[in-house]
């Protein structure tokens, strides 16, 4: 266990020591270890002082020749801190003035000034800092901070998560600044102290607790940094996001541009312009696309009629729905409901190949059927009522002539659709609900498979006689 971890800054490279490793894995050896990057004339690193090896006074004296100590942190071994709090959560006790310059750190930094004064340079702007100031910056960008002659004391926390870049963008959209002065600094110091205490604890779920505290810290930063006057282009993005969210939630309703303009207090011509600039389409075309996408889902996976589906997605006029559907998909809604043949994508290498289906749906059950002899007829079978099924049929070995017969009321009732499915061609037939399904084996030892979106129910299972009067 290390009793101290000390930040150091080198003003000159005069120490008569031996270095090993590179970067933050580079160490200076003389009874203690100092991480050091000698390529930089002024650098900040970390010393790990083993408990009992020397006193702090001896330690400070050892570095007076070529190094000056920046701060001292009484913490546990640095590497054992959770990844979510990467780089540390410490309260600084300064011994000498210093300047720290960093760039390309994959972390975000939040610190508060408890006492004293200093400065921060970030994104080309100089900030003067004093007691009660709070800093929140993206350390992937270059920054530099230094204490004045009135040595400051800080509480700080470096942390990172994959979602943090997006969170920081939202922070800026709300007018959040790199430096701000909250009305009450105590909630920040309390949270940072809690995180610090958790990092030192032996709690077996301390990582979870630290992440919880970091979430609270981010929420507090969002709340306390609100500066509407700083919102320019960001305001436009926020307004558009709200408009898009409204369209996503209310697309089944009748929505006109005038309605949106009145609801969000935005000039309709300005709204139309910025919506197109941002999303690459008009408000009306976005609505149509949203409605047609939902209609396709209902056509594939429900027993609703075409007219019912049109009304459900906000297109009660059947002719308008059919016209818009054909414009987007190139076929009518009724044609879209027919069985389709899927040409799977095949990926080959020296080991063989694999195929990937382009059609996807919620698979509840996977069934297989094996036939010993060519000429074996199976079907036509289907399930009715609440147990109707969507099917995705493929042939795993041998070949079949696969047939789907439309049993839905309407002009296509009794129409049949057939296709050869084989191990060689890797074709699949997608069969919507409301169809009877059957197949004829074309080879001995044929194995076929069908995926369905509903359970098998013997009471709901029905069959069609081979000699039924259908329009084959």
At 242, which CATH number?
A: 1.10.10.60
Contacts of 250 (CB under 8 A, 6+ apart): none
Positive or negative, the CA dihedral 23, 24, 26, 29 is: positive
The answer to whether residues 46 and 65 belong to one domain is yes
Domain count, the chain: 4
Segment 17-28, tens digit of pLDDT: 333 333 333 333
Segment 75-99, tens digit of pLDDT: 333 333 333 333 333 444 455 566 7
Interior CA angle at 256 toward 251 and 260, to 5°? Answer: 85
The answer to whether residues 294 and 325 belong to one domain is yes
Average pLDDT over all residues of the chain: 75
C-alpha span between 445 and 441 (Å, rounded): 9
Provide the pLDDT confidence category of residue 360 given band limits of 50, 70 and 90. Answer: low
The answer to whether residues 174 and 293 belong to one domain is no
The answer to whether residues 356 and 459 belong to one domain is yes
Contact present, 369 and 448 (Cβ < 8 Å): yes
Provide the pLDDT confidence category of residue 133 given band limits of 50, 70 and 90. Answer: very high
The answer to whether residues 65 and 38 belong to one domain is yes
The answer to whether residues 262 and 354 belong to one domain is no
CATH number at residue 158: 2.60.120.280
Asked if residue 26 belongs to a domain, the reply is yes
Asked if residue 94 belongs to a domain, the reply is no
Contacts of 214 (CB under 8 A, 6+ apart): 84, 85, 157, 159, 195
Predicted pLDDT of residue 358: 54
* pTM value > 0.85: no
**Which of 91-100, 129-138, 330-339, 407-416 shows the highest mean pLDDT?**
129-138
The answer to whether residues 403 and 285 belong to one domain is no
Domain boundary at 230, 256, 275, which?
230
Asked if residue 86 belongs to a domain, the reply is no
Provide the pLDDT confidence category of residue 179 given band limits of 50, 70 and 90. Answer: very high
Asked if residue 25 belongs to a domain, the reply is yes
The answer to whether residues 225 and 271 belong to one domain is no
The answer to whether residues 67 and 149 belong to one domain is no
Residue ranges with strand state E in 149-214: 153-159, 179-180
Asked if residue 97 belongs to a domain, the reply is no
Domain hosting residue 142, numbered range: 103-230
Q: Flag whether pLDDT at 368 surpasses 80.
A: yes
Question: By mean pLDDT, which of 86-90, 189-193, 208-212 is the weakest?
Answer: 86-90
Asked if residue 87 belongs to a domain, the reply is no
Asked if residue 89 belongs to a domain, the reply is no
The answer to whether residues 107 and 226 belong to one domain is yes
């Amino acid at each position: 266990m290390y009793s101290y971890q000390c930040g150091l800054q080198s003003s000159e490279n005069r120490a008569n020591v031996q270095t090993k490793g590179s970067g933050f894995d580079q160490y200076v050896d003389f009874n203690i270890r100092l991480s050091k990057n000698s390529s930089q004339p002024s650098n900040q690193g970390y010393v790990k002082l083993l408990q009992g090896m020397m006193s702090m006074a001896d330690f400070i004296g050892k570095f007076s020749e070529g190094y000056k100590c920046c701060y001292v942190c009484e913490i546990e071994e640095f590497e054992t801190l959770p990844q979510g709090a990467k780089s540390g959560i410490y309260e600084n006790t300064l011994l000498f003035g210093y300047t720290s310059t960093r760039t390309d750190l994959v972390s975000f930094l939040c610190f508060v000034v408890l006492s004293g004064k200093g400065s921060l340079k970030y994104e080309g702007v100089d900030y003067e800092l004093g007691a009660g100031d709070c800093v929140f910056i993206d350390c992937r960008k270059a920054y530099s901070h230094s204490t004045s002659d009135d040595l400051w004391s800080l509480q700080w926390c470096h942390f990172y998560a994959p979602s943090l870049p997006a969170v920081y963008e939202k922070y800026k959209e709300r007018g959040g600044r790199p430096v701000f002065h909250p009305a009450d600094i105590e909630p920040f110091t309390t949270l940072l102290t809690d995180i610090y205490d958790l990092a030192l604890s032996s709690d077996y779920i301390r990582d979870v607790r630290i992440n919880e505290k970091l979430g609270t810290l981010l929420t507090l930063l969002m709340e306390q940094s609100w500066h509407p006057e700083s919102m320019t282009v960001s305001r436009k993005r926020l307004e558009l996001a709200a408009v898009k969210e409204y369209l996503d939630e209310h697309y089944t309703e009748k929505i006109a541009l005038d309605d949106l303009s009145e609801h969000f207090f935005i000039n309709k011509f300005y709204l139309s312009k910025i919506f197109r600039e941002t999303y690459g389409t008009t408000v009306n075309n976005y609505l149509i696309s949203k409605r047609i996408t939902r209609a396709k889902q209902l056509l594939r996976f429900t027993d609703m009629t075409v007219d019912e589906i049109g009304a459900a997605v906000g297109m009660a006029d059947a002719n308008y729905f059919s016209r818009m559907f054909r414009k987007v998909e190139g076929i009518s809604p009724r044609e879209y409901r027919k069985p389709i043949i899927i040409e799977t994508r095949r990926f080959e290498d020296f080991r063989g190949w694999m195929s990937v289906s382009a059609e996807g749906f919620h698979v509840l059950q996977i069934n297989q059927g094996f036939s010993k002899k060519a000429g074996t007829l199976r079907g036509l079978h289907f399930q009715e009522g609440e147990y109707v099924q969507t099917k995705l049929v493929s042939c795993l070995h041998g070949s079949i002539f696969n047939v789907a017969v439309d049993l839905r009321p309407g002009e296509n009732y009794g129409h049949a659709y057939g296709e050869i499915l084989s191990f060689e061609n890797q074709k699949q037939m997608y069969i919507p609900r409301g169809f009877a399904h059957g197949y004829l084996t074309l080879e001995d030892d044929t194995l076929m498979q069908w995926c369905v979106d509903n359970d098998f129910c013997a009471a709901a299972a029905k069959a069609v006689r081979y000699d039924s009067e259908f329009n084959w």
